[in-house]
Structure 1
Amino acid sequence: MDIKAEQLAQHLKKPMLPIYVVMGQEPLLVMEALDKLRQHARQAGIGERRVMHVDAQFNWAELIEANQSLSLFSDRLLLELNLERKPDKAGQDVLVEYATSPNPDNILLVNGEGLDRASLKTKWFKSFTANAGVINVWPVKRHELPRWLEQRARALKLSLTTDAAELLAERVDGNLLAARQELDKLALLAEGEVSAELVLESVVDHARFTVFDLTDAAHSGDLGRAQRILDSLRSEGVEPLMVQWALTREARLAMQIQTRLKDGESLDQACMSMRIMGPRQAPMKQAVQRVKPARWSAIMQLLQRTDAAVKGVDALDPWLLMGQVLLRWSMR
């Protein structure tokens, strides 16, 4: 059973399932989902919790033994399994066997840190979760972040102005743990409405980005955001070679899509052919429609010079060259 994170509280009004799996790429939301399940288990009379960490040395017999053992403090156990890596074949077999006849007195709570989207499609995972609750937490997208912050603020009896929500989103972009900390701090500093001025005075810049955030911003034509992400990547010590590689890859993909459009493919068909799907499609489509072929050629020339600078052949700063790349890429 797939359970959306925002629907978990409603789901827990019913008797708990024997197995829950929480997975995703947003640490805060994963942590909060796990905490809700633990709290509900306590309320249901489960008085003892045993935690197991699955690493390369983990012995899967520990799970079997823990499930069969008696609790010293209650009749029921909460067994927590932290998957720091994907289960090997032996682990998969144990998990599937566990799910076939779970101990009705126990709840198995799996933190699927080591799982990914591909794991959802495997035969063993489908068998293991046939009668389980699966909470798959997705990151909050940048355009959704102001509204997300406003909702969290209301739970703290705060009201963010539109400007405050936008500014706070900019400061904590990519780091929801920092977002929660800053909202908690604002709740101590203010009562009622929170202005942009208060956010400016009190909130530290916690934004964290990846090279893919950078290419999405460039594709979307948002030069200010793209330059800010580039500066952040530099300050965090990201290798310029990685950034140059990502920019070059995306520029080549855009040029290949434009070639396919000339050959008669639709934009949707061209994106699918190049395996550009999901949230990556919209920014790429914007870039393909906005940037003319001649400008892509100029961008590629700059990226070739950036590559030479990264390797020490060109004396210019590669980060400055990439800033020039973003300028040309983001132009309307």
Structure 2
Amino acid sequence: MHATEFLKKKSPDVPAITVLFGDEPHFKRGVRERIEEIVLGGDEDAASTRFPGEQADLQSVLDEVRTVSMWGDTRLVVVEDADKFVSNFRSGLEKYVPKPSKGSTLILEVNSWPKNTKLAKAVAASPDSTAIECKAIKGAALVRWLKDEAASVHEKKLGPDAAGLIVELAGDDLGLLSQELSKLSAYAGDRSEISVEDVTALVGGWSTKTTFEMLSAIRTGDIDSAMRQLDALLTAGEAPQRVLGGINYTYRRIMKGVDESSKGTPLAAALKSAGVFPREIGQTEQYLRRVGRPRAEQFRNVLLRADESVKGGGRLPDRVELERLLIALSGANAEPAAV
């Protein structure tokens, strides 16, 4: 079971032994806090003890697990960073798993948990123990997590476009993403949904908003407006590499749509499948039909050359390289053509 599945459950079962394995501390913390809430139930008199895995010994941990507090009948014991602990006391843990203390809960937090070991097999086979995967998630799974987190924690709807943009702008660190969601929820206020515009304004800031406006001008053929936006970005100190990164982010999806349409998929459907924002599909479709397929299919090479130049392989100043790129992408003087 992955941590995302456990955290979705309204009333998950908590056995006597839970192993949290993987490299994502945000998931480990979330599952541990949920278990604490279930096991201790907010009881101030209930006992909770943590051991550092590098220093803990099995006898001390099990003594703590088996000791019933005079103030409560439930104990929660956590061994943090327990890889060394598991390695050193594997034999003793193998003996404990089949007959754990029923009145307490033991949590082992590890990075590595090979499923072919005797201990892992014993945990998997016992009704009194479980192992929860706390590994990092990427791609579609990360977008789903953001949407679920927005709904369950902040009671906000977060569409796939807005969720995907958060990941593009903020990265895939779950702790940071959680903070961004909190800010976005507060920013949205009484509105029920966090929009792409909210993400652009708050996570990306002025530079991201300006980059998107520049690219919109490119799609409509307004090269003068696009040049003004580029000048504003560079004058404000935005790094040319970052500006180019924003252009590449948008055009990766456009080029994927062009490739898909070449296989017979209708252009609008191809752009949607490629991840182009729904509100931009109509404008992007008109843009591609204006510039024509032959020129559109050259955009990937144009972008690659600009990338090499801005990263130090060109003789011209970065501003000039970016200006030339915008002119090439705009399809200036292009007649309407089939795509």
TM-score computed with the length of structure 2 as normaliser: 0.53
Q: Distance in 2 between matches of 1:21 and 1:137?
A: 10
1:192 and 1:64, CA in 2 relative to 1: closer, same or farther beyond 3 A?
closer
Aligned match of 1:147: 144
Kindly provide the amino acid, as one letter, of the partner of residue 140 in structure 1: I
Ranges in structure 2 where 5+ consecutive residues have no aligned partner: 206-240, 246-310, 314-339
Pairwise CA RMSD:
3.3
Instruction: Determine which structure has more spread, i.e. the larger CA radius of gyration.
Output: 2
Structure 1 residue 149: deviation in Å? 2.1
Kindly provide the amino acid, as one letter, of the partner of residue 78 in structure 2: E
Query: 2:112 is matched with which residue: 112, 116, 136?
Result: 116
How many percent of aligned residue pairs carry the same amino acid? 22
1:13 and 1:164, CA in 2 relative to 1: closer, same or farther beyond 3 A?
closer
1:151 and 1:77, CA in 2 relative to 1: closer, same or farther beyond 3 A?
closer
1:41 counterpart = 2:39: yes
Aligned match of 2:51: 52
Kindly provide the amino acid, as one letter, of the partner of residue 34 in structure 1: R
1:320 and 1:37, CA in 2 relative to 1: closer, same or farther beyond 3 A?
farther
Structure 1 residue 89: deviation in Å? 5.0
Higher relative contact order (CA 8 A, sep 6+): 1
1:44 and 1:12, CA in 2 relative to 1: closer, same or farther beyond 3 A?
farther
1:178 counterpart = 2:173: no
Aligned match of 1:106: 104
Q: Is the 8 A contact 2:73 2:103 kept in 1?
A: yes
1:160 and 1:58, CA in 2 relative to 1: closer, same or farther beyond 3 A?
closer
Pairing of 1:74-113 with structure 2 (within 5 A): 74-87=72-85, 90-112=88-110
Aligned match of 1:201: 201
1:198 and 1:151, CA in 2 relative to 1: closer, same or farther beyond 3 A?
same
1:187 and 1:126, CA in 2 relative to 1: closer, same or farther beyond 3 A?
same
Query: 2:167 is matched with which residue: 162, 169, 194?
Result: 169
Structure 1 residue 14: deviation in Å? 6.6
Structure 1 residue 9: deviation in Å? 5.4
Q: Give the secondary-structure state (helix, strand or coil) at the position aligned to 1:37.
A: helix
Q: Deviations over 1:133-170 (max 9, x none)?
A: 11113322223333332232223232334542222120
Q: Distance in 2 between matches of 1:92 and 1:121?
A: 14
1:161 and 1:10, CA in 2 relative to 1: closer, same or farther beyond 3 A?
closer
1:166 and 1:100, CA in 2 relative to 1: closer, same or farther beyond 3 A?
closer
1:204 and 1:47, CA in 2 relative to 1: closer, same or farther beyond 3 A?
farther
Q: Give the secondary-structure state (helix, strand or coil) at the position aligned to 1:203.
A: helix
Runs of 4+ in structure 1 deviating by more than 4 angstroms, as ranges, are: 9-12
Aligned match of 1:70: 68
Kindly provide the amino acid, as one letter, of the partner of residue 60 in structure 1: L
Q: Give the secondary-structure state (helix, strand or coil) at the position aligned to 1:148.
A: helix
1:137 counterpart = 2:137: no
Ranges in structure 1 where 5+ consecutive residues have no aligned partner: 206-226, 232-318, 322-332
Pairing of 1:15-26 with structure 2 (within 5 A): 16-26=14-24
Structure 1 residue 188: deviation in Å? 0.9
Kindly provide the amino acid, as one letter, of the partner of residue 194 in structure 1: I
Q: Distance in 1 between matches of 2:61 and 2:12?
A: 26
1:12 and 1:52, CA in 2 relative to 1: closer, same or farther beyond 3 A?
farther
Q: Distance in 2 between matches of 1:16 and 1:164?
A: 34
Q: Is the 8 A contact 2:16 2:100 kept in 1?
A: yes
Q: Give the secondary-structure state (helix, strand or coil) at the position aligned to 2:85.
A: coil
Number of aligned residue pairs: 208
